[in-house]
A and B are shown apart, each in its own frame.
Chain A
Amino acid sequence: MINKCLPDHVIQNYIEGLLPPAERKRVEEHLHQCPGCEKRLKQFEFVFKGLEQVDYPEPPEDFTIKTLRFIRQERTRKLRKRVYTGVVGIAAALLGILIITSTNLLMLLGIDISPVARLFIEIKHEVLMFTNYLTGILNVISVLAAGLKGGQLINSLFWGGVAAVFIIFLKLRDKLRILQHVIG
């Protein structure tokens, strides 16, 4: 009597020598009796052999020197970028402080604020309003994102539960069939 045919992963594990001795023997006995599984074994052996055939060239002789040169260039580039970002950041911060404090300073010194200075104050006011507005939007987005994450978690738990129930049902059904076969 031919036992149930071998799954593909068992045939692959057999080729790779990953099966324990007892199972290896059982597989070999089955292969002697089952032309279908013997055919699949040969097909998988063909694939395994094909995957061994790939050649690849060696790296060029000057690879190490070129790589070290490339790394030095990358290191310099990253350092320059960091310095540039730092300088721009400091300049922007100083400009911001200057804009915000200059109008107040002028007023404190009792200097007559010209229309240009008044415009400056209005711009400062608008910028602060806009910043508050942006902060508000970001807060709303954060709340929505948190809600979305919570929703995703509930979704995952629900469908995970459905899948688990279904798998348990299938396993019980198989066990019942075996029991019926034994009794019957």
Chain B
Amino acid sequence: MDYKNLTDKELVKRTIENDDSAFTEIIERYKRKVFSIGYKHSYNKETASDLSQEIFAKVYLNLKKYKPSYRFSTWIIRIATNHCIDYLRKKKLKTISYEHTFKDLDNQYSNLPIPDESYNPEVLWEDAELKDVMLQAVEQLPEKYREIIVLRHYEELSYKEIAEVLDLPIGTVMTYLHRARKMLKDFFFKNQDRG
């Protein structure tokens, strides 16, 4: 049986009918996406691997709850995102208020070159330290903003898909995304704007 030619919904149906090879194909199709979501919430390969296994276990044990009217990819990303959010909550990475966001990064970033008006983003972002600061800045965004940044910029989902995953209106998704990017912009350029 060639499972690669079956659609996601057909694979789900077969898995429910106790065909575990069908679920193996589901894992193969989505392991990179699920692993990347796990990694972007932990920045650790082993933790990402553990999270991904738990996510696929949740998917498997809840397949009977999947409604075929929804896209399967959206459903699995929703489970992955919610599981990772729960993981971060358990780790007690609390939502930080706007006034305290990025506080710990200020010292780290103060040693890096502040972009002036003549900067070239292509060149600046080759700096590994700056990339690290961006990763940490995203990690420190309020939870609802961070998730939308991850899904839009890292997972490259459309606004509609993000709205389905997070169960939010599209307008709210766009508002949160704009605010999240503004927070990041204000963090990187606050010294330049003051000067």
Contacts and interface: CB of A to CB of B under 8 A. Distances in A.
Interface of A: 8-9, 12, 39-40, 42-54, 56-60, 63-64, 66-68, 70-71, 74-75, 78
19 contacts: A8-B178, A8-B185, A42-B119, A43-B189, A46-B185, A46-B188, A48-B181, A50-B131, A51-B138, A51-B153, A53-B125, A53-B131, A56-B36, A60-B45, A64-B31, A67-B56, A70-B56, A71-B53, A71-B57
A141 B32 CA distance: 48
B37 to A, nearest CB: 9
Interface of B: 20, 23-24, 27-28, 31-32, 35-36, 39-40, 45, 48-49, 52-54, 56-57, 60-61, 115, 117, 119, 121-122, 124-125, 130-131, 134-135, 138, 149, 153-154, 174-175, 177-178, 181-182, 184-185, 188-189
Contact of B188 (A47, A58, A78): A47
A43 B188 contact: yes
A75 B61 contact: yes
Q: Is the interface of B mostly helix, strand, loop or mixed?
A: helix
Q: Is the interface of A mostly helix, strand, loop or mixed?
A: helix
B185 to A, nearest CB: 5
A68 B35 contact: no
B61 A57 contact: no
B117 A67 contact: no
Given A43-B185, A46-B119, A60 B154 contact: no
Given A64-B24, A66-B49, A75-B60, 6 more contacts: A8-B178, A12-B177, A63-B35, A63-B52, A67-B27, A70-B54
Contact of A71 (B56, B121, B153): B56
Which of B28, B154, B185, B188 has the largest number of chain A CB atoms within 10 A?
B185
Contacts of B181: 8, 12, 44, 47-48, 51
Contacts of A59: 31-32, 35, 48-49, 52
A58 B185 contact: no
A54 B57 contact: no
A46 B39 contact: no
Contacts of B125: 49-50, 53
A8 B183 CA distance: 11
B52 A64 contact: no
B57 A56 contact: no
Contacts of A64: 24, 27-28, 31
B94 to A, nearest CB: 23
Given A43-B189, A47-B185, A54-B40, A63 B31 contact: yes
Given A8-B182, A63-B49, A49 B122 contact: yes
B39 A60 contact: no
B134 A50 contact: yes
Which of A56, A57, A66 has the largest number of chain B CB atoms within 10 A?
A56
B175 to A, nearest CB: 8
A12 B185 CA distance: 11
A9 B135 CA distance: 22
Nearest to B174: A9
Contacts of A12: 177-178, 181
A67 B38 CA distance: 14
A52 B153 contact: yes
Contact of A70 (B35, B36, B57): B57
Contacts of A49: 121-122, 125
A73 to B, nearest CB: 9
